[in-house]
Amino acid sequence: GNSVTQMEGPVTLSEEAFLTINCTYTATGYPSLFWYVQYPGEGLQLLLKATKADDKGSNKGFEATYRKETTSFHLEKGSVQVSDSAVYFCALSEGRIQGAQKLVFGQGTRLTINP
């Protein structure tokens, strides 16, 4: 079946450091790809998405490019802030029927940014 693999955490960085969180996937067909973020005590929020190969999703300084040749969707940010501390989930959508599309998640990566 379809699956998503993220780099293991936790990841700890200093403020203004460069961030990369790796994500690779296994899927049949052409899924959409997502990054979700979960701040402490909250549910998941969509951070960015890409729906086809070579698409770049971006939001709040974060970027990820849908790479079909390497089946990857790595999350990057040039200069992280303390407020970026959260758990990040990579996900893909699967399902043939429009209404029954489901999300398949990676295991999550906890990111801590120190001042």
Partner 1 sequence: DVKVTQSSRYLVKRTGEKVFLECVQDMDHENMFWYRQDPGLGLRLIYFSYDVKMKEKGDIPEGYSVSREKKERFSLILESASTNQTSMYLCASRANYGYTFGSGTRLTVV
Sites of contact with partner 1 (CB under 8 A)? 4, 6, 36, 41-46, 49, 89, 97, 99-108
Residue whose CB is less far from partner 1, 69 or 97: 97
Q: How far is the CB of 80 from partner 1 (least distance, A)?
A: 22
Q: How far is the CB of 43 from partner 1 (least distance, A)?
A: 4
Instruction: Give the 3-state DSSP-derived string for the chain, with helices as H, strands as E and coil as C.
Output: CCEEEECCCCEEEECCCCEEECEEEECCCCCCEEEEEECCCCCEEEEEEECCCCCEEEECCEEEECECCCCECCEEECCCCHHHCEEEEEEEEECCCHHHCEEEECCCEEEEEEC
Q: How far is the CB of 115 from partner 1 (least distance, A)?
A: 25
Residue whose CB is less far from partner 1, 81 or 101: 101
Residue whose CB is less far from partner 1, 84 or 94: 94
